[in-house]
Structure 1
């Protein structure tokens, strides 16, 4: 049986078994659970998937917050290793390199970081221990969310104290990783502590501290690619040092290549600390305020590993080398390490009323600051860099983003959905992103002082007004109509290098994004819904103004980028029963002016930069099922599978891509979890995750996908055993990637990883 058939068979078998089991059970009425802190639309006009704290602890080994999304339908989490600060999200129609298409919030506060093209959400502001639920909303069908929800909205809710209490959690991982004959074990450690109380005065607080110490497997390798004939022509020069250890394989494009060792700061040792104080006050049963202050710091040091040894067995890091067959020249900086020090802060405040029906109002504001962020890059290989020497530094001090939402809602009296009742939402939104990034040439790479070699910066702002009406216009029918108006501008864009500076003029744009959803409940346990919506995603400050220097000139990304415009459709049918549910969703996402970095063949000389791709269309089918009983007491299942086809229909600047598959959107994604919990004292879970092969190049020339440097298939089995030996105590052990599947998103994913954790709550 081929890998592409296995997930289909598993998901369909589970669906059939679940459907047969449902047939003789009485239906339950529809139950809608709203998260007061997640910021989710209470009248969701599109598919929403939720994982609770209990489900996550039973089913998954969670070391970092983003792990909670690993088994969600149609999601890809590019988490390369534990402690990865760049764990990006990919969805139904967008890749993990299109970070601005996923909107992530924590208790309604913005975590999405759109300062850079590939910057991940600020997961660091959350400790896994405090997550109470994770909601994923698919598609741009609600007017409540900005254009960056064009692909998906992820809302994380964290705990609030009901009385005095807290918890302590210790976790560790050990990974066994082997690549190119190089084998090693890598360990990760994490500790969390939470304490909180709710006082009689109406004041409550929660203090959280999280500390992790993680070491990655090698993330990259120094390679040399053969010519079209498969040969490695000898470079001009003198004598070469005889060495052993050069490995050979075939790269993503089907060409031979030589591998010399793990480079570019391949092995990352990161030590991260998050401290957060969350507080609130209930002025009355109907009025409350809450806020938080958070601090995150990271000290990261990297190292490299050469495979090469000379005749005396000493490591060879650079120079002219030969294995007796081919001759190569390794640059002095091929195995150069780097370090990074980061200190980030975030604050948020919410004030809202809590009437059960009638009118309510809320204000949610937050600010995120990169207090300091310095990456120091050596100019020579590890053993020589330890003594200093020239290098460079990248500094992003002072960058950050802010957001504020003002919202008014009207909720009909509970149960009063007759006579054309309306649930109304009106709101105003504003956000801004400010980027300041300087590159400096340093005499000693271990410090960041030196002459500025390049600077890029700028600011974007978005103002929006929106309204939505969930109208129960007839028994069993509901229409949700929404409209979002957005005004965007980019200002203060600048690029400079020594002797030259370029300031970019202010730009502005406006967009209207209508939404419409029609839902029909033919019975209490069945819903059919058709949703359509437009979303507009404006360019980020990095997509506009970050650039490179070539021949003394600045090649900027594109200060004149058009916004992405998505026209999306979804037809969903869901059936709910006494112990589970089954859902099918047909979806289409048709995006004009997709923002992407590519080679522009329509100009001479050709240039690679961020451009607009004319039209990309994605169509797909998503199936998801959940069953609490499968004929054996305590046995439950949760399964999903998605089939999609994402095609480039128009791209005038790069015609070889037309008709090809879009990058990093797999044809098949699935996850199937079986959990056996005969009592409340212990449980065991197993999850099989599969993702089909993908292309990283939009002309689909990288056809050899299951190798380093490509975007490969993922076929992994995770297991977890959870035991509660005493009240308030949990002990868990598990193994991720039990089958030790080798998988890649350009970088290697982790190998087989053993995890263990102990938690005590009081």
Structure 2
């Protein structure tokens, strides 16, 4: 049955081949088609530039991929991060629709090395470089999918205009502003039939978006609001290995394996993840005679509640068992009551940005952008045990993030026509300041009293940078780009309780080089090499935490990551077909990685101690190829395919010698993505996407080899399908499904099972 579903889904867009092929088909733009500026332009000028915020030029220094608005209509695009999840060398860990922790991994940087990627929306930073790992996901939710006009992906740190955090790459999201009065109303509903272990439940959600925009004279503006409410499947399962001590006789637990293949009893789950996100935003642009002013204001309210954690265990009288030594089928285990706590989190944040651009004399352009992000409220309240547990005494705790946020500023000067059109020059200055602090207090849920908050830990980082980048068309078919970035880093005001850390100051210089060759109108090539320095972020340096049996210890002495990155790109393109191939190699010293182990706390109990440490040497070798063909076999069928092979290897790690020679965790060796779109008419299109990723590891020593269990990093093949009907110029509707074959897979946490959605909208 499953094979038949896969076969039918993949061939769905091809099924109409027997119909009349003379109907006109919509064109699908592929990244290779939209990025080959050097291939199709006269060879007499330096034309390998694109633009950054404010229309400033940026030279093409490495591999680039563009995703058009039309291309986004052919995929299931329910959250903004969906735009990049099927691109080569990219992993997005989206655990359910509306996941606040949808982390991003690019090439040799895994999905938990979130400080190695940059994400912008209209020049505003969305990357969350206050924290990393699962807490460091970009703030995707501050952009509604309905706003997106196109997405640009830059692979690697080859442009001097970006910090060393671009080791993985850069995602630039551009949104649209209307040229005339426009009202947009869109809505969608989704449903997941979840059935795993001892929980079978229908999970559902909705999304509503509305906006009003207009142009009044020189002023363009758009005001929008979006509400997303969804239930995600339980994120965690609780299990126990065999124990020596007998206990209460129970039933209901599920025998299984842990990620290392050991026999365990699964005795509960964390409960449904209930997410509610309200987004309010205002964007504007005012045209000047020789420039523009632009402003953005984004306010977000997010609630994440998990209040129905479930124990599978019951005693002989039918009572639910939450903790203690237990015996099932003659085998002894142990359950922990703290696993079943209820958690409620409320997070309110404000992101503001302002920018200005102006044309100066002699062909120079100037641009300035500032942004400010503030956590207005971020409070997580947890009960000590499940409220239904007879042993719960009403106690719990509350954790707050105070004085948390960032400020950034960028100033650029560029001359795209310097020295008779064959030399370009960009100069700039960058500033960022990140600060984070956490407080913790005890809560009595019965009396409603909250103890005074006690500061736990926190600190600040500050970076100032100067950069210069120049491009030279030194021969008709050859161009050279060289860049230099100087950065000055400070770690400031770090504390843990009453203990203070010494401030630190460091600097680094990162040169960049790129050589391009336009062989003819269809074929071009580019070799890029760059040094990148990624300084540690606030969490890695200063955030300490104590949560039950896990102790997280910051490391204020972390060395910065220093990498040398190479990329060779070859591109072939015609009007309706293209091939884009890359070979890349990275060597990174002092990779910052979270390492953990189990230790005896002195009383016989085991505690996990987790800390950020430097891995002296990691190397990554890889290759990817992207192909597109509009009008494959028939003018109705468009196809996009990409394949990526990566080997990220730990070369040297004295802190854990067993990891040397092993794969870097969470980086699959192989991935491929295929999208087929069948244009039944100019108004109706059917698409199928197949996303395949090989398995990887969660442990540095690669000792976790078991598949399809909680905490494994599984291989998977997800098949998505969609049919979209553009009813008229103003209205559309669509029906889609993610994970059509209902495959069960884990990325430590379980991925969602089959999810069906319907959406529609009207623009007037």
Q: TM-score surpassing 0.5?
A: yes
Deviation at residue 624 of structure 1 after TM alignment: 0.5
Q: Does 1:426 align with 2:427?
A: yes
Asked if 1:524 is matched to 2:521, the reply is yes
Go from structure 1 to structure 2 and tell me whether the alpha carbon gap of 1:324 and 1:744 turns closer, same or farther (over 3 Å shift).
closer
Look up the SS of the partner of 2:165 in the other structure.
helix
Deviates more, 1:155-164 or 1:509-518: 155-164
- 1:720 pairs with 704, 719, 722, which one? 722
Question: CA shift at 1:155, angstroms?
Answer: 0.6
- Post-superposition Cα deviations, 1:609-658, rounded to whole Å, max 9, x if no partner, equal 21100010000110001111112122111110001111111112221111
**Partners of 1:56 and 1:306 in 2: CA distance:** 41
Specify the alignment match of 2:257 in structure 1: 250
Q: Select between 702-711 and 549-558 the one with higher mean Cα deviation.
A: 549-558
Distance, in Å, in 1 between the alignment partners of 2:216 and 2:362 is 27
Deviates more, 1:172-181 or 1:144-153: 172-181
TM-score (norm 1): 0.90
Mean CA deviation greater in 678-687 or 731-740? 678-687
Aligned counterpart, 2:577: 580
Task: Give the Cα separation in 2 of the matches to 1:563 and 1:679.
Answer: 54
SS of the residue corresponding to residue 655 of structure 1 reads: helix
The corresponding residue for 1:471 is 472
Query: How many angstroms does 1:607 deviate by?
Result: 6.4
Tell me if the contact between 2:688 and 2:720 (Cα under 8 Å) persists in the aligned partners. Answer: yes
| 1:296-445 equivalences in 2 (<5 Å) | 296-302=300-306, 303-353=308-358, 358-384=363-389, 389-412=394-417, 417=421, 421-444=422-445
CA offset at residue 36 of structure 1?
A: 5.5
Is residue 39–residue 523 contact of structure 2 (8 Å, CA) maintained in 1? no
TM-score after normalising by structure 2: 0.89
The superposition leaves residues 567-608 of structure 1 with CA deviations (integer Å, 9 ceiling, x where unpaired) of 00001100110202101100011100000122599xx99964
d(CA) in 1 for partners of 2:706, 2:560: 33
| Residues 103-140 of structure 1, C-alpha deviations (whole Å, 9 max, x = no match) | 01110111111111222111121011101111110011
Deviation at 1:386, TM superposition (A): 13
Query: Structure 1 residue 563: deviation in Å?
Result: 0.3
Task: Structure 1 unaligned segments of length 5 or more: list them.
Answer: 15-21, 226-231
Deviation at 1:552, TM superposition (A): 14
Q: How far apart, in 1, do the equivalents of 2:375 and 2:473 lie? A: 46
Cα distance 1:633–1:28, how it changes in 2: closer, same or farther (>3 A)? Answer: farther
What does residue range 435-514 of structure 1 map to in structure 2 within 5 Å?
A: 435-444=436-445, 449-452=450-453, 455-496=456-497, 501-514=498-511
1:648 is aligned, of 650, 673, 676, to 650
Q: CA shift at 1:151, angstroms?
A: 0.9
Q: 1:368 to 1:445 in 2, by over 3 A?
A: farther
Q: What are the Cα deviations for residues 660-702 of structure 1, in whole angstroms up to 9, with x where unaligned?
A: 1111111001101011114321100101101111011111100
- Over aligned residues, Cα RMSD in angstroms? 2.9
Alignment of 1:632-671 (within 5 A): 632-671=634-673
Q: 1: CA distance between counterparts of 2:125 and 2:179?
A: 25
Distance 2:680 2:298 in 1: 40
Identify the range of structure 1 (179-188 vs 482-491) with the bigger mean alpha-carbon deviation: 179-188
Contact 2:693 2:716 in 1 (8 A): yes
| One of 80, 83, 88 as aligned partner of 1:65 | 80
Distance in 1 separating the partners of 2:488 and 2:268: 49
Q: For residue 146 of structure 1, what is the aligned residue in structure 2? A: 163
**Mapped pair 1:102 → 2:117:** yes
Quote how far apart the aligned CAs of 1:280 are: 2.0
User: What are the equivalent positions in structure 2 for 1:210-221 lying under 5 Å apart?
Assistant: 210-221=226-237
Tell me if structure 2 keeps the 8 A contact 1:467–1:482.
yes
The residue number in structure 1 matching 2:102 is: 87
5+ unaligned residues in a row in structure 2: which ranges?
15-32, 42-46, 603-607
Structure 2 counterpart SS, 1:609: strand
Q: 1:445 to 1:291 in 2, by over 3 A?
A: farther
Q: Which moved more, 1:554-563 or 1:334-343?
A: 554-563
Q: In 2, Cα distance between the equivalents of 1:722 and 1:551? A: 49
Contact 1:40 1:155 in 2 (8 A): no
Given candidates 230, 243, 247, the residue that maps to 1:233 is 243
> Cα distance, 1:332 vs. partner?
2.7
CA contact (8 A) 2:551 2:609 kept: no
How many Å apart are 1:448 and its aligned residue?
A: 8.3
How far apart, CA to CA, are the structure 2 residues paired with 1:215 and 1:612? Answer: 38
Deviation (angstroms), 1:328: 3.1
* TM-superposition CA deviations, 1:684-743 (whole Å, max 9, x none): 010110111101111110011332211111211000100012221110001100011111
SS in 1 for 2:539: helix
- Correspondent of 2:698 among 696, 699, 711: 696
1:29 aligns with 2:40: yes
> Contact 1:357–1:411 (CA<8 Å) still a contact in 2?
no
Distance 1:555 1:277 in 2: 39
Partner residue, 2:21: none
**8 Å contact 1:483–1:513 — kept in the other structure?**
yes
Kept in 2, the 8 Å contact 1:274–1:295? The answer is yes
Q: Verify: 1:137 aligned to 2:144, yes or no.
A: no
Which is worse superposed, 377-386 or 657-666?
Answer: 377-386
Deviation at 1:188, TM superposition (A): 1.3
- What secondary structure sits across from 1:399 in the alignment? strand
Q: Which residue of 2 aligns with 1:222?
A: 238
Cα distance in 1 for residues equivalent to 2:446 and 2:80: 33
